[in-house]
Structures are given as C-alpha cells and as structure tokens.
C-alpha cells in the first residue's frame, strides 16, 4: 500500500501533493485537538474562551 502511494505521489504535480499534505495535516491537528478536549472535558467554546477568541463552527 505505501509503495503504491509513494508511486502515485511521485507522478502527481508538486502543488497537488503539497495541498493534500496540508489538508491531511489540518485534519490530524483537528483530530488531536478533539482528543485533547475530550480528555480535558472541554468544549471548543471553552478553549476559545481561555484563549480569548471567539469560537466559530466549521461547516
């Protein structure tokens, strides 16, 4: 599986690969953040309050 993915990425345009990597990293960040909030028993709004920011729901 990994070899096929590497082969596919080599043949793809660099800007497409970069965009996919950015999107994947953003998704991983959101997953990890959700796990932290769950462990801390905090909502996104709670975290935003602590950071002094307004929480906006993603659509």
Classify residue 58: in a domain, yes or no.
Answer: no
Residue 38, domain extent: 2-51
What pLDDT score does 1 carry?
A: 60
> Residue 43 falls within a domain, yes or no?
yes
Identify the pLDDT of residue 57.
56
In a domain, 10, yes or no: yes
- Give me the number of domains the chain comprises: 1
Lookup: tokens for 39: 């462990």
Assess if residue 56 is contained within a domain: no
Identify whether 57 is part of a domain: no
Tens of pLDDT, residues 13-59: 999 999 999 999 999 999 998 898 899 998 888 888 888 877 665 54
CA geometry: angle 32, 46, 24, nearest 5 deg:
25
Can you tell me the distance from the alpha carbon of 36 to that of 31, in angstroms, rounded to the nearest whole number? 9
């Amino acid at each position: 599986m990994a070899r096929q993915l590497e082969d596919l990425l080599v043949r793809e345009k660099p800007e497409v690969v970069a965009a996919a990597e950015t999107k994947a990293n953003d998704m991983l960040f959101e997953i990890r953040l959700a796990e932290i909030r769950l462990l801390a028993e905090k909502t996104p709004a709670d975290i935003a309050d602590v950071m002094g920011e307004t929480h906006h729901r993603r659509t």
